[in-house]
């Protein structure tokens, strides 16, 4: 117990999820003993689901027990809606735990999951066709969820409770074999133990190996995204060419992580559709929550239902180093009269530009399209404009009304500082380092 406490960083405030069952009662006693050695603040929360006749008695039991052990406890009542009661109760329980942890400024939430729970969880994930993350099971520390008993079997906890004379509550619903977890516990696991005694140890070892592989693969996916993609909320995209060269397993992780920025994790079928979309130029598919995935010639964009805007950077004058400048770069030399009074902003309805080298004007949207700016990025292109008259679309091109000509009397060189919509995270980082 002390080793696990040290491994998770010796948290100063611990909130225990206390159901009153044997596992959480043993963990309560263990934490009380550890508190004497480490001096952390210990509190508990009991979630009253109101689903069983014994629920009131369980709540009273944990209150009396905590009073005896000098542990502050809060009982929170929740209402579980219709549907999958097991899943609804679990979701409600975790909402309470996280809310209470935030209210108490707890560093970790201690959960009493043990080795038998781990085996059941992994088997359930396996039956659902989970990948490496699911087969890795639960972690000792996941976010702020701490599971110090994860390597101990339930029988060990029951023996420990009897040795210290601790009482606990029995949840009659744990005998309901119509629930998947209970069916595994009472019907499947005994058969597996008979076939392969101590198989739980083998499952735990397999889970640790899967967890190490999972951590490595996730690290590789995150590293690839940092090097090649844009993970800015306004401009989420991966480059198609580089992404299609990835091994399928890494490609899946990259696409799933990009969906994570939109607030969901895609299932296998949706991930398959995203992989197929990489092969279809100018295609798109609907994602969850009203989001879209849009494939252009060179990028796969992840567009939220309500896109946020990329805020424009800034312009500053520089000593003139060239006669004309770079129309598609971050700096440009202008006819001073052509940009006097112009404002840096994002595109607006009605904007137009008089493209350099062409006659007349064009709608800005058509101009950006013709210059190869992907549709999801066009709303984010910073422009220097006089009213609706765009004199410079930064990084794209400038207006003939702002271009240097033989009649130009005064020139000004402007430099744009800030992220452009097609910048990758690595490009932005390198620009900051260069600056």
CATH code of the domain made up of 229-303: 3.30.465.60
The pLDDT confidence band at residue 375, using thresholds 50, 70 and 90, is: very high
Q: Which helix (H) or strand (E) holds 108?
A: strand 108-110
Which residues touch 14 (CB under 8 Å, ≥6 apart)?
Answer: 31, 40, 41, 42, 43, 106, 107, 108, 110, 146
The pLDDT assigned to 380 comes to 97
The string of pLDDT tens digits covering residues 76-86 is 998 876 666 77
Cα-Cα-Cα-Cα dihedral sign, residues 264, 268, 273, 278: positive
Report CA Rg, the chain: 30
> Which one is predicted more confidently, 319 or 306?
306
Hey, where are the domains in the chain? 1-207, 229-303, 314-434
The pLDDT assigned to 204 comes to 87
How many residues are given for the chain? 435
Taking alpha carbons only, the member of 235, 231, 217, 28 closest to residue 112 is 28
Residue 319 pLDDT exceeds 90? no
| pTM score of the predicted model | 0.82
The pLDDT assigned to 90 comes to 86
The string of pLDDT tens digits covering residues 333-370 is 999 999 999 999 999 999 999 999 888 999 999 999 99
Average pLDDT over residues 186-194: 93
How many separate helices (H) and strands (E) can be counted in the chain?
Answer: 17, 20
CATH code of the domain made up of 1-207: 3.40.50.620
């Amino acid at each position: 117990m002390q080793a696990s406490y040290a491994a998770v960083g010796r948290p100063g405030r611990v909130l225990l999820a206390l159901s009153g069952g044997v596992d959480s009662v043993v963990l309560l006693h263990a934490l009380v003993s550890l508190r004497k050695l480490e001096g952390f603040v210990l509190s508990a929360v009991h979630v009253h689901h109101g689903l069983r006749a014994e629920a009131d008695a369980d709540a009273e039991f944990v209150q009396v027990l905590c009073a005896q052990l000098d542990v502050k406890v809060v009982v929170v009542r929740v209402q579980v809606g219709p549907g999958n009661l097991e899943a609804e109760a679990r979701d409600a329980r975790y909402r309470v735990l996280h809310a209470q942890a935030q209210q108490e400024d707890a560093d970790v939430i201690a959960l009493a999951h043990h080795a038998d729970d781990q085996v059941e969880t992994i088997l359930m994930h396996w039956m659902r066709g989970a990948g490496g993350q699911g087969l890795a099971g639960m972690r000792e520390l996941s976010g702020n969820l701490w599971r110090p008993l994860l390597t101990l079997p339930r029988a060990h906890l029951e023996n420990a409770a009897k040795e210290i004379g601790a009482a606990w509550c029995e949840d009659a619903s744990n005998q309901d074999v119509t629930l998947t977890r209970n069916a595994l516990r009472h019907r499947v696991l005994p058969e597996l133990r008979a076939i392969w005694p101590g198989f739980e140890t083998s499952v735990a070892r397999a889970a640790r190996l899967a967890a190490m592989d999972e951590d490595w693969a996730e690290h590789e996916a995150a590293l690839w995204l940092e090097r090649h993609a844009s993970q800015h909320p306004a401009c989420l995209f991966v480059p198609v060419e580089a992404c299609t060269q990835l091994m399928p397993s890494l490609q899946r992780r990259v696409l799933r992580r990009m969906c994570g920025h939109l607030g969901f994790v895609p299932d296998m079928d949706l991930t398959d559709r995203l992989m197929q979309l990489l092969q279809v130029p100018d295609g798109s598919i609907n994602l969850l929550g009203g989001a879209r995935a849009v494939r252009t010639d060179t990028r796969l964009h992840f567009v939220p239902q309500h896109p946020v805007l990329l805020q424009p950077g800034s312009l500053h004058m520089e000593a003139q180093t060239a006669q004309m400048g770079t129309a598609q770069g971050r700096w440009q030399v202008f006819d001073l009269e052509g940009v006097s009074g112009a404002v840096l902003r994002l595109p607006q309805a009605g904007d137009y530009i008089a493209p350099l080298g062409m006659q007349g004007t064009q709608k800005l949207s058509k101009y950006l399209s013709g210059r190869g700016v992907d549709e999801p990025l066009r709303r984010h292109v910073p422009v220097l404009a006089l009213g609706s008259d765009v004199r410079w679309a930064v990084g794209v091109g400038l207006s003939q009304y702002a271009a240097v000509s033989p009649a130009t009397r005064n020139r000004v060189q402007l430099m744009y500082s800030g992220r452009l919509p097609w910048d990758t995270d690595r490009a932005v980082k390198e620009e900051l380092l260069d600056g």
